[in-house]
Structure 1
């Protein structure tokens, strides 16, 4: 009996050491770089971590922003341009980065009360129906974004 209990406890301890994948996608390190010109669009950057199943990010909303569009940066004739994207695949167990020079969200009509250091509430909606609320850290145009690529 004692060996059975010890064996069961050992299995529980070993399973606790295994990395656990979240059932749903996660949103991490959300930041909003405010526009250099008042009234201009801001950029949002974050990391998506896939859950147990493939999913797709289909929209982002915020109570303090008129409109948010998903974009990707692409080279076009030697010039970096942006194009809108309607959804972003988030494969199970994989990481998808939204960073300067790559995929990002453009925030149009940001409430003028949002200044550097103000939290920006954001609601991420996925094709599966998962909705994740985060508060993005806002930084001024030119400020360091805490290790993100510039």
Structure 2
């Protein structure tokens, strides 16, 4: 009996040693505009940590300005509108993808070309900051895998 209780105690200790959920992001990529001078768009996935948080801003030195946007569908007509912040649920996932949430990148630098990478800095209400390297693709190219 003593052996079984020892095994149960060890199992409970190991279960409590699991790494707590940590705020993170990955799968970052940028699509260049089809027309020079127009904005590009950045996409990525955020994984929520143990506590809910709020994404406040995304920036990059590769663009003069960036804005959080969301594509909306109103009676079959799609439009984009800026958002000022975005809740990230605890242990949830928030996806930035074509046709939905995205970051508009205005006035991209001339060195931003397909096949290069640019940094994206994500700032959260909790004070946490994440930096991602985003793969750049051309306007007609498929997203990176």
Scaled to the shorter chain, the TM-score interval is 0.7 to 0.9
Q: Are 1:39 and 1:112, in contact at CA under 8 Å, matched by a contact in 2?
A: no
User: Would the aligned equivalents of 2:122 and 2:131 in 1 still touch at CA under 8 Å?
Assistant: yes
Residue segments in structure 2 that go unaligned for 5+ positions in a row: none
Unpaired segments ≥5 residues, structure 1: none
**Corresponding residue number in structure 1 for 2:122:** 124
Q: C-alpha root-mean-square deviation of aligned residues, in Å?
A: 2.5
Give 1:57-76 correspondences, 5 Å limit: 57-76=55-74
Q: Is the 8 A contact 1:45 1:98 kept in 2?
A: yes
- Would you say the 8 A contact 1:71–1:105 is kept in 2? yes
**CA offsets, 1:33-92, max 9 Å, x none?**
011112210011110100010000000111111011000011134210000000010000
Asked if structure 1 preserves the Cα contact closer than 8 Å seen for 2:29 and 2:144, the reply is: no
Q: How many residues align?
A: 143
2:139 aligns with 141
SS at match of 1:11: helix
* Superposition TM-score, scaled by structure 1 size: 0.85
Against the structure 1 CA distance between its residues 48 and 77, is the aligned structure 2 distance closer, same or farther, given a 3 Å change threshold? same
Q: Secondary structure at the match of 2:79?
A: strand
Alignment match, 1:105: 103
Q: Distance in 2 between matches of 1:20 and 1:52?
A: 7
Aligned twin of 2:113: 115
Cα distance in 2, alignment partners of residues 32 and 107 from structure 1: 9
Pairwise mapping of residues 1-150 of structure 1 onto structure 2 (< 5 A)? 7=7, 10-11=10-11, 14-15=14-15, 20-22=20-22, 25-146=23-144
Checking the alignment, whether the CA contact within 8 Å between 1:21 and 1:93 is kept in structure 2 is: yes
